[in-house]
């Protein structure tokens, strides 16, 4: 199964695990000391790795050191060094790396997982865009997971999140020698609405986002949502 399909299956599995009160999975979501259910990217990553294991098309490593060196002072001071062995730059990490064979030389793709509206995603997108040239499949993935109680997320948070995506692309673009590499980094986003037991998923490349999304545009103002490949899920029906 292609990586894209494994991600989509993992989204479906996560949606079911949350919206069907755990009846479709043995995954338990822990509670904070205040009694709130805690959600993080770790649940999605574990589901994804389980699906990789079951699919058997890929091998994988976790917290994989990057090939290049990086210095992340802040979002506007991102530095990359391809020959960092003796310099001040240090290897970063990819959450998960996939391989076509049981050897490091067969790197297929790298994946970063995030939950909620993280303060900064520049360094994650930079790593994915810089090192996509080193992968066999010439594509890397940023897999983003939001859990919210209300579907009003679309009006309250959508424009802020996509503004962060867009500004992050602008900030890393000068570090990318081959601008076509922006088309090889794919964002997969799942938003799960706990109260309504529904969800929506999206996917798009960084290049598509840069070329087609205007910062500040609200979800309700989008006349063409085909850019985001939106899918709507309601667990009253089959997923």
Summarised one tens digit per residue, pLDDT across range 62-96 is: 999 999 999 887 656 778 888 766 667 889 999 99
Is residue 79, in this structure, part of any structural domain at all? yes
> Strands across the sheet with 90-99, in order?
77-81, 59-74, 90-99, 107-115, 140-148, 185-193, 198-205, 231-234
Confidence (pLDDT) at 40:
79
The total number of structural domains in the chain stands at 1
Is residue 111, in this structure, part of any structural domain at all? yes
Domain coverage including residue 218: 3-234
Distance CA 119, CA 208 (A): 23
Degrees, nearest 5: CA angle 103-105-109:
95
Is residue 30, in this structure, part of any structural domain at all? yes
Degrees, nearest 5: CA angle 155-157-160:
120
pTM (predicted TM-score) = 0.91
Confidence (pLDDT) at 237:
46
Is residue 239, in this structure, part of any structural domain at all? no
Is residue 95, in this structure, part of any structural domain at all? yes
Ranges of the chain with pLDDT below 50: 237-239
Closest alpha carbon to 112 in 96, 92, 101, 126: 96
What is the C-alpha end-to-end distance of the chain, expressed in Å?
18
Q: Spell out the long-range contacts of 99-105 with Cβ–Cβ below 8 A and sequence spacing 24 or more.
A: 99/58, 99/59, 99/60, 99/61, 100/57, 100/58, 100/59, 100/136, 101/59, 102/59, 104/61
Is residue 51, in this structure, part of any structural domain at all? yes
Closest alpha carbon to 83 in 67, 94, 72: 67
Distance CA 76, CA 64 (A): 25
């Amino acid at each position: 199964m292609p990586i894209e399909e494994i991600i989509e299956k993992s989204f479906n599995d996560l949606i079911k695990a949350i919206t069907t009160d755990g009846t479709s999975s043995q995954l338990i979501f822990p509670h904070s000391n205040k009694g709130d259910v805690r959600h993080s990217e770790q649940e999605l990553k574990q589901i994804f790795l389980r699906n990789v294991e079951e699919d058997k098309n890929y091998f994988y490593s976790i917290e994989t050191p990057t090939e290049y060196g990086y210095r992340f002072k802040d979002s506007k001071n991102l530095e990359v060094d391809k020959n960092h062995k003796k310099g001040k730059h240090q290897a970063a990490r990819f959450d998960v790396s996939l391989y076509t064979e049981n050897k490091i030389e067969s790197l297929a793709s790298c994946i970063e997982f995030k939950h909620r509206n993280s303060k900064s995603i520049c360094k994650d997108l930079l790593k994915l865009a810089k090192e996509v040239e080193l992968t066999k499949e010439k594509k890397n993935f940023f897999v983003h997971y939001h859990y919210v109680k209300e579907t009003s997320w679309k009006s309250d948070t959508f424009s802020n999140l996509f503004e962060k995506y867009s500004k992050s692309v602008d900030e890393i673009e000068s570090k990318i020698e081959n601008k076509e590499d922006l088309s090889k980094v794919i964002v997969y986003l799942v938003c799960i609405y706990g109260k309504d037991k529904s969800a929506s998923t999206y996917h798009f490349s960084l290049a598509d986002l840069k070329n087609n999304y205007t910062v500040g545009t609200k979800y309700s103002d989008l006349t063409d949502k085909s850019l985001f490949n939106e899918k709507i899920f309601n667990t009253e029906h089959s997923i």
